[in-house]
Amino acid sequence: MPQQEPGRRVPARPDASMSLLTTVMSNTLDEGYAQAAARRRAEGRSELPRTLRARLWLAAGLVLAALVVTLGAAQAREAAPTLAREREELLDRVESGTADVDALQDEVNELRAEVADRQRDAIGDPESEHGELIALLAGATPVAGPGLELTVNDAEDAAPGEDAPGGGGFSDTGRVRDRDLQRVVNGLWQAGAEAISVNGQRLTALSAIRAAGDAVLVDNRPLVPPYTLLAIGAGDDLAAAFAGTPDGRYLEVLRDSYGIRTSTAVRDEVRLPAAPALAIRTARPAGTEASEASEEGSPQ
């Protein structure tokens, strides 16, 4: 080994400045960690690396999630037939109930028709002295004959709204109201009409013309304009008589002042249906009057 000459500096090692990095690379484990690892090895224990533990936990979580999903799907498949069966049973019950309701409604309609026929037969009994006249006045039978066709319609610029305060029936909106139809119908009766219908609805002595909002009701059946009134009577004479009534003049004023559209036509024949329902206020079995009279004339 050559000796160092006096007064000459020995050059530093090339890796002298990297002593810390060298130490880290040569001693990768801290002394405390090294001692703990040596102690675990001495006790016969070993520990998996942290990354491996995380992967194992992740795998276990995925397996558990897959198991839950599989069990849920299996339960859904098992419950599906039960739900389908219950749904089919419910549909069958609904269809059966609907069929029962339809059958009951048909039976009700048949009974109503039978009651109406019996009422008409009782009112229009041909053996009765005034049976035909009673049936005509009560609207129990359809009628046909010469008459009058009167049409009443809203004004062209009619707008929805309530009657003006103190108005006489037609407001500034030009709409036909229930009270106006009442006056027209009363004028036709006064002029000598034998039977009247409004938009195919036969009127009787008990018919009511009312309003529900802007709608006009005849016997609780809503009608829409134009309102066509058919009246059985002596054609031209009936038209002239109606025009001379206060209600006929009222209709002319409404036409001239509020733009209500009206038209009158005399027909050689008009046909009116029977009233859809007849209301009989009182009734007694046939022969009751004779039996009561015999009882009143018998000695006590």
Q: At what angle do helices 246-258 and 178-191 cross, to 10 degrees?
A: 140
Question: What φ, ψ does residue 273 adopt, rounded to 5°?
Answer: -75, 170
Considering the domain 142-272, what is its CATH architecture? 2-Layer Sandwich (3.30)
Measured CA to CA, the distance from residue 178 to residue 159 in angstroms comes to 16
Q: Does residue 50 sit in helix, strand or coil? A: helix
b (16+ CB within 10 A) / e for 50-61: eeeeeeeeeeee
Q: What is the pLDDT of residue 142?
A: 84
The one-letter amino acid at 135:
A
**Under 8 Å between Cβ of 113 and 223:** no
Supply 161's token pair.
């709204």
Q: What is the pLDDT of residue 51?
A: 72
Supply 112's token pair.
């109503």
For the CA atoms of the chain, what is the radius of gyration?
Answer: 51
Residue tagged 């066709």 (tokens)? 149
Residue tagged 């990095």 (tokens)? 21
Measured CA to CA, the distance from residue 227 to residue 216 in angstroms comes to 10
Contacts of 280 (CB under 8 A, 6+ apart): 119, 122, 123
Measured CA to CA, the distance from residue 56 to residue 63 in angstroms comes to 10
Is the backbone of residue 158 left (phi > 0), alpha (psi -120 to 50) or beta? beta
Q: What is the pLDDT of residue 23?
A: 63
Q: What is the pLDDT of residue 300?
A: 41
For residue 290, what is the enclosing H or E element? Answer: helix 288-297
pLDDT in tens, the chain (300 residues): 455 555 566 565 555 555 655 665 565 556 666 676 677 667 655 555 567 777 778 888 888 888 888 887 777 776 667 777 788 888 888 988 999 999 999 998 888 778 777 766 666 555 555 666 666 667 777 889 999 999 999 888 776 554 443 444 444 568 889 999 999 999 999 999 989 999 988 988 788 899 888 789 998 889 988 999 999 998 889 999 999 999 999 999 988 888 899 999 999 999 998 887 666 566 566 665 555 544 544 444
Number of other CB atoms surrounding residue 285 within 10 Å: 7
The model's pTM: 0.51
Q: What is the pLDDT of residue 240?
A: 92
Measured CA to CA, the distance from residue 116 to residue 10 in angstroms comes to 138
Question: What φ, ψ does residue 49 adopt, rounded to 5°?
Answer: -60, 155
For residue 228, what is the enclosing H or E element? Answer: strand 227-232
Q: Does residue 240 sit in helix, strand or coil? A: helix
For residue 151, what is the enclosing H or E element? Answer: strand 143-153
Asked if omega into 226 is within 30° of 0 (cis), the reply is yes
The gap between the terminal CA atoms of the chain, to the nearest Å, is 174
Q: What is the pLDDT of residue 156?
A: 83
Q: What are the boundaries of each domain within the chain?
A: 28-110, 142-272
